Structure formats: C-alpha cells, structure tokens
Amino acid sequence: MRPSVSLVLFVSFITGCATSLPSSPVEDIDAAWRIRQVELRQITAWQVLGRLALRAANQGWHASLRWDRDGEKVRLDFTGPLGRGHLRLVQDSHGAELRDADQRVWRAENPETLLYRATGWALPLNGLNYWVVGLPVPATASTQQLDDQGRLKRLVQSGWDIQFLEYTRYGEYDLPSKLFITRRDAPSEDPAAGEEFLEVRLSIERWTFIP
C-alpha cells in the first residue's frame, strides 16, 4: 500500500533555508540543551519534505514524504514506487483516516494503529512529531545522549532507538536532517514469527515553518 499527495493552503509561511552549522563545541552542553528544548517546543506548525525508507526482516519500502502539521492536525502524504504508489494519512482531534490511491478508506482513533492495520508497518508516528524537531516525547521516560552542541545525538524512548545522524540549520533552528530509528520488537502480522525488527531512515530535504 502506498501514498497520495495533497496540498494544504497556508495564508502565510516562512520557508526555512538550509545553511551550514558551526562545528565548535559549546562550553555547557546541559545548559545549551535546556535552552534548546524551550526554543524547539515552539515549533508546532510546519511542512516537511523528505524521503522515508523502511526495512523489516523480509521486505523494504521507500517513499517521498510530505508532512503537514498544524498543532493537532497532521497530514502525511507518501508517494513511492511500490504497491499502489500513494497513501494519505490525516489526523485531527476526531481521530485518523487513511486513504490509498484506489480511494479505499480506513479509520481509527490512533494513527499508528490505523497505519499498521492497513499496511503492516508499525511506524512510531506519535513519537515522530517530537523526534523530527530533535525533542523527546514529553512526560515519557527516555535515555538521552547529547552531542557537543547540546543537541540530541541518541534517544531511546518507548522501545525505539533514535539516532540523530545529521543536523542542518533552517532559519534560526538547528533541526535533524537525517534520523535512523530502530526497534527490535516491532509488531508482526504473523504471530508465529517471533521477535521482529524494523528500521526507519528519515531524510529531510526542506522545512517550512508556519507562523
């Protein structure tokens, strides 16, 4: 099953232009991290363009990604060469809806459950809303490792191991541009299959911040 593409109209927007990042370490990493968290929590509306690759034991999938978020409203459009070629996942306060290129529709309260039922992929969609900006999910236990700039380098949370491989500056923010996410006990469609693993590679090509 694969994606569909849709556009969300915004009255005004600011496009984040990527620039090189300074390489010199900060003096107080923990203080830099505390300041950074306050700044990043303000980012709740965006458009992200990128690429997504998934790998499980016997299969792989990759797609282009368009990700629009405005608070609780989220739209994920996947476009890829496999399967039907398009998927659109929409979430708001009323629940989640998934639509494929054949206009078949699935609905559920939880977007992660919905995507898994329709495709068999157990993506950590709720966590990604925070990890994509370089933050842990709030009020959820985690183990964190910081780099010499006071940014997340590695995060273990809710059974997922997230490595932040690269950051890029967009406007005034240093944001992750390459993430490698793994889980060893990802759900399997086959109860007899035992422990499964899932690898998720997310490469972000452009951010647009919505005021």
**Domain 26-209 belongs to what topology?**
outer membrane lipoprotein receptor (LolB), chain A (2.50.20)
Query: Full-prediction pTM beyond 0.85?
Result: no
- pLDDT at residue 52 greater than cutoff 70: yes
**Digit-coded pLDDT (tens) for 63-90:** 999 999 999 899 999 998 644 578 999 9
Looking up tokens 């959820």 gives 140
Are residues 144 and 152 in contact, defined by beta-carbon separation less than 8 angstroms? yes
Strands (E), the chain: 14-16, 18-19, 45-55, 60-70, 73-79, 86-92, 95-100, 105-108, 142-146, 152-157, 160-170, 173-186, 196-209
Give the model's confidence band at 120: pLDDT under 50 very low, under 70 low, under 90 confident, else very high: confident
**Digit-coded pLDDT (tens) for 55-65:** 987 788 889 99
